[in-house]
Structure 1
Amino acid sequence: MTHEELEKLFRQGDTSNDAISIRLIAARKSTGMQQQAVASAVGIPKQTYYSQEVRGAPSIPIGRYFYRAHGIDFNYLYYGDFIHLDVPVRERLISALTGESE
């Protein structure tokens, strides 16, 4: 993929709740985890995590979890920045965003 195609795929710079929701779901899918597993890892109810995915409003503990456990940081979640991500992490996110990881 070209850099421009990646910017579009990651919705770089798009801070809308819809874009954040898409990136948060892709982050979870890139790890191979279900919502319940993420919620349990963070110590919150599944419904709380689910609502954060749907609303595109991840809490700080969710962002911290994805960064510490999976190398997916706030810059990706909130702004779609992908350049600084480790290559394997970026590749898993690309697969999740294109539907190849499902």
Structure 2
Amino acid sequence: MDIERKEHLAHRGDMGVKASAIRVKAARYSSGFEKQHEFARACGISKTSYNNIEKGLQFPNRDVMKYLYRAHRIDFNFIINGDFAQLPADVQQNLFDALERANSEWDQTQG
């Protein structure tokens, strides 16, 4: 996958709530969680709070970003701004596969 495609999928430079929602959802998928409630529990937040993050109603909180970094090596630079260069290669590979899915699902629910 070329760099332009990666930047597009990651919404690099977009600090908006929609882009953050897509990146968090992709991070959830790449971390092996299909169910929102299981991921929310792992992060230590309520399912409702997490659902609001994925719906683009609120930004990801510190608990989500801390969990992703500590447990899955996905740091806040990716979640907030889509910067992926600092992520390990194996993490990037999983994230970009998941970003394809998360972007497609967002487009389906919004379109």
Same fold (TM over 0.5): yes
- The residue aligned with 1:28 is 28
- The residue aligned with 1:82 is 84
The 4+ residue runs of structure 1 with deviation greater than 2 A are none
Secondary structure of 2:26's aligned partner = helix
Any gaps of 5 or more consecutive residues in structure 1? none
Aligned counterparts of 2:75 and 2:98: Cα–Cα separation in 1: 16
Aligned counterparts of 2:54 and 2:19: Cα–Cα separation in 1: 11
Q: Describe how 1:1-102 pairs up with structure 2 within 5 A.
A: 1-33=1-33, 34-54=35-55, 55-99=57-101
Q: Offset at 1:94?
A: 0.5
Secondary structure of 1:99's aligned partner = helix
Q: Offset at 1:6?
A: 1.2
Q: Offset at 1:56?
A: 4.8
TM-score (norm 1): 0.90
Aligned pair count?
A: 100
When the two chains are superposed, the root-mean-square deviation of aligned CA atoms in Å is 1.4
The one-letter code matched in structure 2 to 1:57 is F
